[in-house]
Amino acid sequence: MPSSNVNSSPRKNKRWTSAEHLFFVNLLHGTPKSDTIRSKNNSILKSDLKSWIAQLQSQFPKTKWTYQRIRSRYNLIKYDYLAYQAALKMPGKVEVLAEGKIHLPMKQEADLKMSHPRAAARMLRNGLMVGGCVTVDTYHQIFASNIHTDGSDTLTGQQEVAPYDKPSLNIAPRNAKSIMVNCCTTQSLSRLPIEVLSMIGSYFSHQELQVVTLLSKLFRDIFFTQLFTRLRFSGDLERLGQQIKSFLNGLLTYPSRKIKYKPRYVTFLILDTEPEKYTIASPDSPVKLIGDFLQSMPDLEGVVFDLRFSDRRQVANFNDLLKKTKKWTSPCSVIFEHAKTSNFAAIVKHFQPRTLQAVQLPIGSCDRSCVQLTASLNKMPSLRRFSFKLWRWQLNGMFVRRDWSESSKMRPITNSEIDTWYATLVRTLLMAVPQLEELCISDHHRSLYRGTRKENPSEVHIEWLENSDDEHRFPSVLTTDKLGERLTSELGRKEKRDSTAVTETD
């Protein structure tokens, strides 16, 4: 009987495997925090999803990867998460975090299927797929900015400042009424000193703060500022200028807003602009308005630039407009999501000397060669602190172990091996760059590998960022004088790690 040839070409309509799904979720989670994947601009979302085709094809060569396949999975994950979030707000729900599932009473299950007909049944049956480094919290972090958890704001056109997570506010009044049933609790809270209420509010989640601000005018005045921690302006220069003007005019018309709106971070996502609209001679260009905004917000901790220019003319036009404006004196940290080298250099140089304490390099600018990195760092004799992110899910177990055998390929990488590898990298870089006093690497799981020369340079401490917001602020979180208050010693988290320090091993 003649043997049949087995078709080894990638299969187009193959169902997603668990490994493929989790890898894709890690790609989403690893996307910069500039709301790129959460953007309502379909062209931006499309470009990001397309950029992952090569990675998925390399990781899973037996599957044929197309944009349609990836976009379909993205939509499925998004709708499942929306259904999951709605289920979380329902009475009687039981959340099983280890399985990524939620169990609802019969009535609530029927209500969920009515409100989310596309995803409710699937989500209740399968939950949010978790495993490895992917947890329910991973999904929260991916979709935080456009659903409810992040506290970001969005400004579109001439629209007044509004919560970016406005959809979830539709549910808040019902929650508020249920809380008001216990009048004694609400009345007793209102009698407390404002200082005590502020301390209590620091423990509330963003969703809880939304509910609390609806209970009374007093609570709204006290807690309203905590709902607005980030601002985001996006569009071409013309649209960006309109948005910034609208915001600044609102502050002039209603001075009290300066007290209520104290964002800690602002993002400027700038798209292509017709160069003829704004020239060097423009007296009031949108780039100048960026400086006016930064000056009007002295409490800003950082600014994020996401420059999506398609050609050299756009890049040069932005730099020319920037040169004609006053230098910036705040904030103390700047993060670049996407930026050409000349834009990056122009913006950094536009800050007054000694203003910046932390700078995050643009995507694609970090060299993966340890030798070339140390050579670059040694060219900066005044450099004392250096930090960067290196996500653990990008590491291959065989590479970490330096073991290329088949058995190593099949064996999953352990936390202990990850810790040892990161610690060795920190130690190697710290010893190779004599002027460095401190080196930090974040692995995107809120753990921080920190080496200091002031103590024993052969010892690397593993510390934990106190909360997810600190993770979003890395590396600017390291500039605070209260770093010890923001980092939790590993000693108190033995259940998650084996030790507080990793020393060199064989």
Q: Which two three-digit tokens encode residue 167?
A: 């959809």
Q: Mean pLDDT, to the nearest integer, of 177-182?
A: 40
Residue 311, pLDDT > 50, answer yes
Token representation of residue 77:
């994950």
11 in a structural domain:
no
Does residue 300 belong to any structural domain of this protein? Answer: yes
- pLDDT tens, 16-47? 888 899 889 888 887 654 444 444 445 667 78
Length, in residues, of the chain: 506
Alpha helices, DSSP H, located in 402-458: 406-410, 415-432
Of 123, 119, 130, 82, residue with least CA distance to 102: 123
Largest CA distance in the chain: 89
- For the chain, the domain total comes to 4
> Which pLDDT score, from 0 to 100, does residue 290 have?
93
Residues with Cβ within 8 Å of residue 34, at least 6 apart in sequence? 267, 269, 304, 306, 337, 338
Better-predicted residue by pLDDT, 115 or 172: 115
CA distance linking residue 153 with residue 159, whole number of Å: 11
* Same domain as 287, residue 408: no
Torsion of CA 42, 47, 52, 53, to 10 degrees: 100
Asked if residue 268 has pLDDT above 50, the reply is yes
The CA-atom distances, in angstroms, between 222 and each of 23, 196, 212, 260 are 42, 11, 10, 9
User: What is residue 109's predicted lDDT score, i.e. its pLDDT?
Assistant: 87
Shared domain for 169 and 137, answered yes or no, is no
- Kindly report which listed range (14-18, 279-283, 331-335) carries the lowest average pLDDT score: 279-283
Contact 465, 448 (CB under 8 A): yes
Q: What confidence score (pLDDT) does residue 171 get?
A: 31
Question: If we measure between CA atoms, which residue out of 503, 495, 388 comes closest to residue 456?
Answer: 503
In terms of domains, do 381 and 351 share one? no
Rg (CA), the chain: 25
Please give the average per-residue pLDDT across 341-359, as a whole number.
89
CA distance 111 to 304: 40
Q: Of 339, 360, 381, which marks where a domain is finished?
A: 360
Which pLDDT score is estimated for 327? 93
Residue percentage of the chain with pLDDT more than 70: 66
Is the predicted pLDDT of residue 175 greater than 50, yes or no? no
Q: What phi and psi, each to the nearest 5 degrees, are found at residue 450?
A: -125, 120
Residue 433's SS3 state is: coil
Report yes or no on 4 lying in a domain: no
Residue 148, pLDDT > 70, answer no
| pLDDT tens per residue across span 105-140 | 888 888 898 888 888 989 998 889 888 778 888 888
Q: Distance (Å, rounded) from C-alpha 459 to C-alpha 499?
A: 12
Min mean pLDDT across 131-145, 247-261, 262-276, 375-389 is at 247-261
Average pLDDT score, the chain: 72
* 394 lies in the same domain as 447: yes
Model confidence pLDDT, tens digit, residues 235-259: 888 889 888 988 888 777 765 555 5
The reply to whether 372 and 355 lie within a common domain is no
Instruction: Flag whether pLDDT at 497 surpasses 60.
Output: no
User: Are residues 241 and 194 part of one domain?
Assistant: no
Judge whether 442 and 387 are in contact, CB under 8 Å: yes
Does residue 10 form part of some domain?
Answer: no
Residue 7 lies in a domain: no
CB 93 within 8 A of CB 61: no
Of 452 and 38, the one with more pLDDT: 452
**Is residue 74's pLDDT more than 80?**
yes
* Cis bond before residue 331 (omega within 30° of 0): yes
Q: Same domain for 133 and 167? A: no
Q: Name the domain boundary from 89, 116, 147.
A: 147
The per-residue pLDDT for 504 is 32
Residue 6 is assigned to a structural domain of this protein: no
Q: Is the pLDDT of residue 158 over 90?
A: no
Same domain, 43 and 104: yes
Residue 56 and residue 125 share a domain: yes
pLDDT-derived band of residue 270, with 50, 70 and 90 as boundaries? very high
Single out the residue in 325, 360, 395 at which a domain terminates.
360
Indicate whether 78 belongs to any domain.
yes
- Taking the C-alpha atoms of residue 235 and residue 393, their distance in angstroms, rounded to an integer, is 32
Contact of 302 with 476, CB cutoff 8 Å: yes
Phi-psi region of 332 (alpha: psi -120 to 50; beta: other; left: phi over 0): alpha
Tell me the pLDDT band of 328, cut-offs 50, 70 and 90.
Answer: very high
The pair of structure tokens assigned to 135 is 């947890």
d(CA 107, CA 321): 60
Any alpha helices (H) in 379-414, and if so which ranges?
397-401, 406-410
| Pairing of β 385-389 and β 438-442 | parallel
Output the pLDDT for position 33. 46
Q: Is the pLDDT of residue 434 over 60?
A: yes
How many angstroms separate the CA atoms of 493 and 445, rounded?
14
Residue 257 lies in a domain: no
Q: Stretch 74-91: mean pLDDT, rounded?
A: 89
Q: Please, which residues have CB within 8 angstroms of residue 250's CB and are 6 or more apart in sequence?
A: 160, 161, 257
| Residue-range definition of the domain harbouring residue 320 | 233-250+266-360
Which residues fall within 8 angstroms of residue 295, CB to CB, at 6 or more apart? 328, 329, 330
What does the alpha-carbon distance between residue 465 and residue 489 come to, in Å, rounded to a whole number? 9
Cα-based distances in Å from 64 to 54, 77, 150, 328: 11, 20, 35, 49
Instruction: Give, in degrees to the nearest 5, the angle at Cα 493 between 489 and 498.
Output: 100
In this structure, the answer to whether residues 370 and 494 fall within a common structural domain is yes
On whether both 386 and 506 belong to a single domain, the answer is yes
Q: In this model, does residue 343 exceed pLDDT 80? A: yes
pLDDT of residue 299: 81
Structure confidence at residue 153 (pLDDT): 35
Same domain? 277 vs 325: yes
Which carries the bigger pLDDT value, residue 104 or residue 455? 104
